[in-house]
């Protein structure tokens, strides 16, 4: 495997791993606030990020590279409020998208077209995740701190099933 591509893929492993921990911290905080729907949504989202990480690890190893399992920075314990949680989530997803775009660039520069093809799954996944984060944040801004509104938002999230990128999910099994 091209060493520059391998390094960039391992860098993405670290980012997906931190995403999983970050959302786990948000889930735990939400649970302690009595926001059980939000907690359920974030626990699921944390699992998805772990899946994103695993998919990369398997790809690196299957292609003859060596996946590096990273140590992870400790995420925050406290958050200001639920709006702050979703602001941070959106901001974090935007950072991940930038990193995926950088990975695409490196694949093209190194003429590694099969990894480029693999990374396309993450490109579409990011589009979905960004859109979801924006929608939820917009709703919260509309609610504007109203307790009844937050109660309904949280109850709705309990039933929310995130859209998954099925084709890619199957590839990783
Ligand atoms: Fe795996 Fe939400 O980026």
Using the mean position of ligand 1's atoms as its centre, give its distance from the Cα of residue 80 in Å: 23
Q: Which of 173, 159, 167, 166 is nearest to 44 (CA)?
A: 159
User: What are the tokens at 95?
Assistant: 């950072």
Per-residue model confidence (pLDDT) at position 42? 97
Residue 15 domain boundaries:
3-172
Question: How far lies 77's CA from each of 20, 29, 35, 85, in Å?
Answer: 14, 7, 16, 11
Contact 15 CB / ligand 1 (< 6 Å): no
Q: Which of 77, 91, 64 is nearest to 2 (CA)?
A: 64
Per-residue model confidence (pLDDT) at position 56? 98
Give the ligand 1 atom nearest the CA of 45: 2
Contact status, residue 115 vs residue 128, Cβ threshold 8 Å: no
Among protein residues, the one with the nearest Cα to ligand 1's atom 1 is: 49
Using the mean position of ligand 1's atoms as its centre, give its distance from the Cα of residue 78 in Å: 21
As averages over each run of 10 residues, the pLDDT of the chain (173 residues) reads: 97 98 98 97 97 98 97 94 97 98 98 98 96 96 92 91 54 43
Per-residue model confidence (pLDDT) at position 161? 66
Per-residue model confidence (pLDDT) at position 128? 95
Contact 19 CB / ligand 1 (< 6 Å): yes
Per-residue model confidence (pLDDT) at position 162? 65
Using the mean position of ligand 1's atoms as its centre, give its distance from the Cα of residue 126 in Å: 6
Per-residue model confidence (pLDDT) at position 15? 97
Residue by residue, DSSP assigns 107-166 as HHHTT-HHHHHHHHHHHHHHHHHHHHHHHHHHHHHHHTT-HHHHHHHHHHHHH------H
Question: How far lies 90's CA from each of 57, 59, 86, in Å?
Answer: 25, 27, 6
Give the ligand 1 atom nearest the CA of 52: 1
Per-residue model confidence (pLDDT) at position 167? 46
Using the mean position of ligand 1's atoms as its centre, give its distance from the Cα of residue 148 in Å: 30
Q: What is the CATH number of the domain that holds 123?
A: 1.20.1260.10
133-145 as b/e: b if 16+ CB within 10 A: beebbeebeebee
Give the ligand 1 atom nearest the CA of 48: 1
Using the mean position of ligand 1's atoms as its centre, give its distance from the Cα of residue 163 in Å: 13
The residues, ordered by sequence, that sit 6+ positions from 145 with a Cβ below 8 Å of its Cβ are: 81, 83
State the total domains in the chain: 1
């Amino acid at each position: 495997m091209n060493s520059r591509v391998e390094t960039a893929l391992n860098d993405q492993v670290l980012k997906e791993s931190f995403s999983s921990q970050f959302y786990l911290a948000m889930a735990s905080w939400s649970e302690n606030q009595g926001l059980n729907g939000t907690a359920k949504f974030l626990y699921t989202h944390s699992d998805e990020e772990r899946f994103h990480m695993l998919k990369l690890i398997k790809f690196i190893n299957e292609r003859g590279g060596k996946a590096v399992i990273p140590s992870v920075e400790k995420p925050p314990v406290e958050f200001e409020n639920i709006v702050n949680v979703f602001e941070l989530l959106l901001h974090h997803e935007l950072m991940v998208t930038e990193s995926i775009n950088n990975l695409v660039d490196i694949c093209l520069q190194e003429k590694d077209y099969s990894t480029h093809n693999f990374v396309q799954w993450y490109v579409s996944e990011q589009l979905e995740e960004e859109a979801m984060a924006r929608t939820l944040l917009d709703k919260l801004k509309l609610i504007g701190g109203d307790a009844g509104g937050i109660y309904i938002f949280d109850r709705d999230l309990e039933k929310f099933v995130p859209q998954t990128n099925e084709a890619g999910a199957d590839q990783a099994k």
